[in-house]
Structure 1
Amino acid sequence: MDFEKQRFLHRQLLASSLLQFTTKMFAYTARREYVVGEHHKIICDALMDVIKGRTNKLIINISPRYGKTLLCSQMFIAYGLALNPASKFLHISYSGSLVQENSMAVKDTITSTYFQTLFPEVQIRKNDNTRAKWSTTAGGGEYATSTLGQITGFGAGQAEMTEEELKNIDDFTAQFNPDHFAGAIVIDDPLRPDDALSDNVRESINRRFETTIRNRVNSRKTPIIIIMQRLHEHDLCGYLQEIEPNEWTVVSLPVIKRDEDGTEHALWPFKHTLEELYKIKHASEFVFETQYMQNPTPMEGLMYHVFRTYDALPERRKARMLGNYTDSADTGFDFLCSICFDAHDDGYYVTDVLYTKRPMEFTEPAQANMLKRNKTDICFVESNNGGRSFARNVERLTKEYGNRKTRFVTFTQSKNKQIRIFTRSSEVNNRLVFPSNWEQLWPEFAHDLKAYRKEGYNAHDDAPDAATGIIEKCEEWLNNISDEQIMRDFL
């Protein structure tokens, strides 16, 4: 195959997708293979939707050191210029030196022999070429500045093309850039992690976006892309999703993902295994939830603090009760929450949890099996909203499964849920004891319990409601009824 034919095919390949461009260009410039993770493909697909005009406002949330800057702030800009040398990019980050390094990396890519062989029409203008600002001979380029730095005088993107200009586009542009992508505002980590808890700094960046950054576009079609690790519930991403909930496409990539059956997987095992991720979590849960899981939970206002844990369960024969508390789902949006526990003098040791939104065809046999597996003495079931019917069905199944030990007690919960949770929160925190790996065993339950707030919106209260119920029922049965009476009831 002659050189021109090979060049043509290679040019077509790199222009076909950002992922192809990145893997080939990285291999040439870095002299090593680009290790592609599933998250890289997801990010590239989202950025290709921007190129194709399908997405105008994009948020990508991913943890640090997962390749977001190379992909979004370097290769994406170089790729956009390969498709259209007149593309204009405004690149912003909390650090002026960081964006300038990214700007230089884009220039290094463009001026490389490999890039120039394939896309020779992209030339950097010699008399307009600094670390922070440079232009192409076609009128494109990049301006790199800090979030609070000077921005006036530069606009991202290009004005919409006239009908005459549309008629004159070449075959390459027509095939690979039919929607006439012409640049974007690319914001990479607008907020420094150390400043995330500062209301003044955080809100000044949000105001800066509104007063200056948002308007630095040359066309209403010019896209805005924000790539960052979540740092606070009211960081720039949180703020924008609050005021414009339906306008932003959000790609959130937590480092631990779960299958439908609850099995956990590391997002990018090449970077972190599950074991390594849990070590990071144990070092600082707040940092892990916000920056790694993209789930910013406020440190202030949480109902519960660190729970007690155990590695070895105390002798079960010494337990005062092998119990279960079940709160059946009130609506289709609620979780069924069923908790098995061993009641000892020093606390209630949780042994099993069923926490699911699945239908009764699953939950009833699953509950019956859990009660048999844990040798439960007594099962308390809230009878509100179908709870009594649920209890009858589970009781029938327990007998079918050969469990004639468990006694069912149904009751109507008439007290206000929020007040109950609030007033018994310290006892829940101090009396409930979980297995040391409970967050891995029951991740959704653990999240909803630990993230519950004293005030404000809580998506789900089923976990703290059932945890509170354990305290209430154990107090009622173990403190007000003698051991002899309880034993007579069970015999």
Structure 2
Amino acid sequence: MSRTSSGRGASSTSVAFPAWVLGRDPSKRIICASYGQELSNKLARDTSAVMWSEWYLRAFATRLAQRTAAADFETTQRGGRMATSVGGVLTGRGGDIVIIDDPVKPDEALSEAQRQAANDWFDNTLYTRLNDKRTGAIVIIMQRLHLDDLVGHVLEKEAWEVINLPAIAQEDEVWDYATVLGPTQYVRQSGELLHPEREPQDVLDGVRAALGEYSFSAQYLQAPVPLGGGGLAGVLHPR
């Protein structure tokens, strides 16, 4: 069973990735969950819109069934994408891939009850929903919010593959990845900004001042610290 936790990238993971998976294998079943049903439904509609687009229909042979719900659609090969919320019922449903996108709202992250509810739902409901635990995958995509958020919770229990993209690199990072032109390596230097065109240093400095060190360390550096504590703790580094 493959498991991945990450920082930001909701559109890529919850919208584009399911469309790509179903394009390659229309029999795959995907479960996508977010903190609220409204957000989950919106992301499902976005995936459906991609799969009905002219360019997608030219690129893939996969076709959606004509009579299907926007938030729980199927392909003509009986695969599909189901949208649910964290805490939602999944009785009788299983997936080959499970995607959890922002399990807790940032403004609820300090609530122990909210964090515990999300963690308990993962342990008691979602974790068993993989159709095949040997080949299935669970993907968690979120910004860190607390030492005991869902990423912190699962890392305490077992090993996960972690992709960590802080807004400011905390140490030198080496990324090896494949492209159509062959293997490529990118070295990100300590202090290098993740997206300087969108969030240059002066913008990040303003965000840090507005959020405070506690929220900035968690949400922008992916390194939550104890509330009221001093230095960084719980930093997730690429493996």
TM-score by length of 1: 0.42
CA distance in 2, matches of 1:134, 1:152: 17
Q: 1:226 aligned to 2:140?
A: yes
Equivalent position amino acid for 1:198 in 2: S
1:79 is aligned to 20
Equivalent position amino acid for 1:83 in 2: R
Change (3 A) 1:242 1:113: same
1:143 is aligned to 82
| Higher share of residues assigned helix | 1
TM-score by length of 2: 0.85
CA distance in 1, matches of 2:32, 2:170: 34
CA distance in 2, matches of 1:236, 1:452: 18
CA-based RMSD: 1.8
Deviation of 1:264 (Å): 2.2
Change (3 A) 1:259 1:204: closer
Higher Cα radius of gyration: 1
CA distance in 2, matches of 1:97, 1:217: 24
Identity %: 31
CA distance in 2, matches of 1:206, 1:108: 31
CA distance in 2, matches of 1:210, 1:258: 31
Equivalent position amino acid for 2:166 in 1: P
Alignment gaps of 5+ in structure 2: 173-188, 235-239
CA distance in 1, matches of 2:157, 2:190: 35
Structure with higher RCO (Cα < 8 A, 6+ apart)? 2
Q: 1:123 aligned to 2:37?
A: no
Equivalent position amino acid for 2:149 in 1: D
CA distance in 1, matches of 2:165, 2:28: 28
Given the alignment, which residue of 279, 301, 325 partners 2:206?
A: 279
Q: 1:203 aligned to 2:149?
A: no
Q: Could you give the per-residue CA deviations for residues 384-403 of structure 1, whole angstroms, max 9, x where no partner exists?
A: xxxxxxxxxxxxxxxxxxxx
Deviation of 1:123 (Å): 1.4
* Kept in 2: contact 1:134–1:142 (CA 8 A): yes
Q: 1:156 aligned to 2:70?
A: no
CA distance in 2, matches of 1:108, 1:131: 9
Q: 1:89 aligned to 2:30?
A: yes
Counterpart secondary structure, 1:125 = coil
CA distance in 2, matches of 1:213, 1:94: 13
Deviation of 1:230 (Å): 0.3
Alignment gaps of 5+ in structure 1: 1-54, 63-67, 158-183, 303-449, 458-491
2:231 is aligned to 451
* Kept in 1: contact 2:100–2:141 (CA 8 A): yes
Q: Could you give the per-residue CA deviations for residues 236-263 of structure 1, whole angstroms, max 9, x where no partner exists?
A: 100111111xx20011111011565x86
1:265 is aligned to 192
Q: Could you give the per-residue CA deviations for residues 20-53 of structure 1, whole angstroms, max 9, x where no partner exists?
A: xxxxxxxxxxxxxxxxxxxxxxxxxxxxxxxxxx
Corresponding residue pairs, total: 216
CA distance in 2, matches of 1:124, 1:86: 11
CA distance in 2, matches of 1:132, 1:452: 40
Given the alignment, which residue of 144, 149, 157 partners 1:243?
A: 157
Change (3 A) 1:113 1:452: closer
* Kept in 1: contact 2:27–2:77 (CA 8 A): yes
